[in-house]
Structure 1
């Protein structure tokens, strides 16, 4: 699977807009569009979203092994050498091995991780789901268009994983914390940690 290391964390069901202009990613996006395939978003721990040259060539890129598949849902090319794409997060995966092609694109041998089980929000966390619902309603009312939220529908305010993932996207959480939350297999634990953060805030 082609990998896209980013200084961001993509969650299943999340929306990711990207501007593509590097040769390696223009090639990747073209292949994904032609074959209807996803690419993998992995979180950078070293390096930047845009490849830069250092004294000894390109600066290193180091990224986490747990990521999320991204499927392109819309694209446009305003001029040659630039593609704007909208993506939706799908299944989580783990990188088992990786290699870099000559033009800089990473390829990974990946193992798909099980999707979150649908777990009902327990009574003691219902207020967290209600807060999210109120926030989304307010955002939609204030925005000229609900465009930024389109990838999160259909809403599932009774599902621990869905509620936790949306909070992870909306809250100003430290990057490392978002990655740790993504790596959790239990959607209930993920939501409990979000509740703790909200209470402290």
Structure 2
């Protein structure tokens, strides 16, 4: 997708978390407005947008200003929905393209929708030799996690700067502000370089 492509009236799910492209996001949905959003997205095969809250809580957004959200978010695709109990659903989502909010407005239901500009997807960049240890360490960590959503990960993923950097951004104990700075970087190589520096300082990966 190109940076000039826009989406109109994209439903938003504000959270105290950051979703990265290629990432996995499980959500327990109980509020009526979000259950209706999930139902509509499933029926139409449409995505929604995950945005990170600056302050406040996702259950009390109907009377909060747009500045409550960070401007950059990530498109989420619903992969599965499991009904856990009456009024409670588990949805499993995957992160797709990044976007920037241009306009947003609350609906009478309290759900926020936004017009967004999609940002350019990461260009595949092979991992240079001096950063390969970051990919090797990630492969070891993910192997130990043994999580079902990682079943489709291939060796090719561990050769790509953007994918490796994004997975480390999810795993490392970064605050939301730093994660968002990483998300906004257009260079996957620079993102991986910064992540690798953090790994080396923490003693997680060494050359």
TM-score by length of 2: 0.86
Other-structure match for 1:103: 109
Distance in 1, Cα, partners of 2:85 & 2:43: 19
Q: How does 1:25-174 map to 2 (within 5 A)?
A: 25-51=34-60, 58=63, 62-140=68-146, 146-147=147-148, 149-150=150-151, 153-155=153-155, 156-174=157-175
Aligned residues: 191
Query: Which blocks of at least 5 consecutive residues in structure 2 are unaligned?
Result: 1-9, 203-207
Q: Once the 2 structures are TM-superposed, how far is the Cα of residue 147 of structure 1 from its aligned partner?
A: 2.2
User: Offset at 1:65?
Assistant: 1.1
Q: Give the gaps of 5 or more residues in structure 1.
A: 141-145
Distance in 1 (alpha carbons) for counterparts of 2:116 and 2:59: 23
Determine whether 1:180 maps to 2:181.
yes
Contact 1:46-1:60 at 8 Å conserved across structures = no
SS in 2 for 1:46: coil
Over the aligned positions, Cα root-mean-square deviation in angstroms equals 1.7
Q: For residues 28-75 of structure 1, what are the alpha-carbon distances to aligned partners after superposition, in whole Å with 9 as ceiling and x for unaligned? A: 1111010010000001101123328xxxx8566711111110000010
Distance 2:190 2:115 in 1: 28
Q: Secondary structure at the match of 1:115?
A: coil
